[in-house]
Amino acid sequence: MSRKVLLIEDEPNIAEAIRFLLTREGWQVETHGDGMDAVQVIQDAKPDLVILDVMLPGKNGMDILRDLRELEDMQNLPVLMLTARGQSRDREMAENAGVSRFMTKPFSNAEVLTAVRDLHAQASRL
């Protein structure tokens, strides 16, 4: 069973930390740092899971998520959204856009691993 994560995050330190963490857990991790072409990159990569930052250059994570959910083959793709702004309004917008899970920065390694494992397990049952 493939375990492929596409991480869309423009902060190199955060991207590297998450990539390192998940790779150590046996995940294949691809990273991308630009929101403008993120939907196309996700479609091409065909990941099992997407970790998506809200604040990205070119196009924000909320718009990317909405665009993804409009594509038939992307409606059940697990998306873990990361944000530095944890206001309830942001969480509500993400839920309305179809996010699978929402996580506020800073987060612990354990939180990320738990979220990724949970989302992957849920998706495997679909």
Domain 4-125, CATH class in plain words = alpha beta
Write down the pLDDT at residue 1. 60
* pTM of model > 0.75: yes
Q: Give me 20's structure tokens.
A: 């390192």
Q: Residue ranges of the domains in the chain?
A: 4-125
> Closest Cα partner for 35 from 64, 13, 15, 6?
64
Write down the pLDDT at residue 86. 72
| Residues 85-110: tens digit of each pLDDT | 778 888 899 999 999 999 998 999 99
